[in-house]
């Protein structure tokens, strides 16, 4: 019964991510504690999100901006290697706060964007997003914030974001396997969620065509803003 319910919930969250490019993963990680023990939460979520993002990138392969991938991949490998090796030594309590503030300033402050432009690139975003993803749930908006500045076409933003997030989740899954997490213990739930994730990606890709480009970009900015505020509030609660 849990498998069926989680499959349907994953379909719903993956459809939202397929339309807007973000938000589905954060909704899903908020739901999962009701179904999974804490030690399984991030590994199972990571594997499901890998399926959701990879399938979304495949369905939108014509719109993926492939020039971003090598830079992001190099940054991601460096990030995950560093954060996995020092995980037990660092306090990450306030990292979500900095991520949330960065997203808000990036979206709404032209002065901030003018100053940060020379430092902001896919190597750095890959390093931070993938490295921090093994401990912080809200790293996806980092990529989407940068893509939103570089590309104005909604399909390019969503498909490329999905391709880059796939890299983050694939590397994260390998880290959890290295640390000994046994995915097979949750095979029924994982299969149901992967089916829901892929079906949701397909549905979301089809529904995205129905949204006007300008409305889409404003919707994405509003959703990113809500997620950033939620992350900031979460640090203090």
Task: State residue 135's pLDDT score.
Answer: 75
pLDDT at 62: 95
Q: Residue 26's pLDDT is what?
A: 79
For 131-185, how does the pLDDT look when each residue is reduced to its tens digit (9 = 90+)?
A: 888 877 667 788 888 998 899 898 999 999 999 999 999 999 998 898 899 999 9
Decide if pLDDT at 214 tops 90. no
Q: What's residue 182's pLDDT?
A: 92
Residues ≥6 apart with Cβ < 8 Å to 175? 80, 84, 134
pLDDT (0 to 100) of residue 38: 79
Range of the structural domain that residue 226 is part of: 2-236
Q: What number is the average pLDDT over the span 207-213?
A: 83
Residue 230 has pLDDT above 90, yes or no: no
Residue 135 has φ and ψ, to the nearest 5°, of -130, -25
pLDDT digits (tens, 9 = 90+) for 88-128: 676 667 777 877 888 888 888 888 878 777 778 999 999 98
| Number of structural domains found in the chain | 1
> How far is Cα 172 from Cα 76, in angstroms, rounded to an integer?
10
Higher pLDDT, 237 or 199: 199
Over residues 34-53, the pLDDT tens digits come to: 898 878 888 899 999 999 99
Lowest mean pLDDT among 25-29, 44-48, 205-209: 25-29
The pTM of the full predicted model, rounded to 2 decimals, is 0.86
Contacts (Cβ under 8 Å, ≥6 apart) of 211: 19, 154, 219
Question: Nearest 5 degrees, angle CA 74-CA 76-CA 78?
Answer: 70
């Amino acid at each position: 019964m849990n498998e069926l319910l989680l499959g349907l919930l994953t379909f719903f969250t993956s459809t939202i991510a397929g339309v807007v490019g973000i938000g589905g993963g954060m909704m899903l990680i908020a739901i999962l504690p009701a179904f999974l023990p804490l030690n399984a939460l991030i590994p199972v979520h990571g594997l499901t999100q890998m399926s959701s993002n990879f399938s979304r990138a495949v369905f939108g392969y014509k719109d993926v901006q492939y020039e971003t991938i090598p830079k992001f991949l190099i940054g991601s490998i460096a990030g995950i290697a560093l954060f996995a090796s020092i995980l037990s030594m660092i306090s990450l309590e306030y990292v979500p706060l900095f991520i949330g503030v960065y997203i808000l300033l990036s979206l709404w402050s032209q002065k901030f964007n003018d100053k940060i432009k020379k430092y902001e690139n896919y190597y750095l975003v890959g390093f931070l997003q993938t490295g921090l993803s093994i401990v912080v749930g809200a790293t996806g908006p980092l990529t989407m914030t940068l893509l939103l500045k570089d590309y104005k076409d909604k399909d390019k933003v969503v498909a490329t974001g999905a391709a880059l997030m796939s890299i983050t989740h694939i590397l994260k899954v390998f880290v959890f396997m290295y640390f000994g997490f046994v995915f097979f213990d949750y095979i029924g739930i994982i299969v149901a969620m992967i089916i829901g994730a892929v079906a949701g990606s397909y549905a979301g890709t089809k529904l995205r065509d129905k949204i006007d480009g300008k409305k889409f970009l404003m919707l994405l900015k509003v959703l990113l803003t809500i997620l950033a505020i939620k992350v900031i509030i979460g640090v203090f609660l």
